[in-house]
Amino acid sequence: MIIVKQREQPEMLFRQFLVEDKNIYGGASYVDFLVCIHKEIGQLLS
């Protein structure tokens, strides 16, 4: 186990290996979900 602190050299290496898992059912990703929620909130506030 290696502890990686923010803004230090090992963080950049660590970030290269991060990937977003695909939904096995073909649904929206987490980012897509957040965009959808943001749009709905914007419509409610308009």
Cβ(20)–Cβ(30) under 8 Å?
yes
pLDDT above 90: residue 38: yes
Q: How far apart are alpha carbons 40 and 28 in whole angstroms?
A: 15
Q: What is the DSSP letter of 6?
A: T
Max Cα distance, the chain (Å): 49
Dihedral angle computed from the Cα positions of residues 10, 4, 31 and 38, in that order, rounded to the nearest 10 degrees: -120
Residue 28 predicted with pLDDT over 80? no
CA distance 34 to 32: 5
Q: Which band of pLDDT confidence, cut at 50, 70 and 90, is reported for residue 26?
A: confident
What's the pLDDT at 23? 67
Residues 26-46, mean pLDDT to the nearest whole number:
88
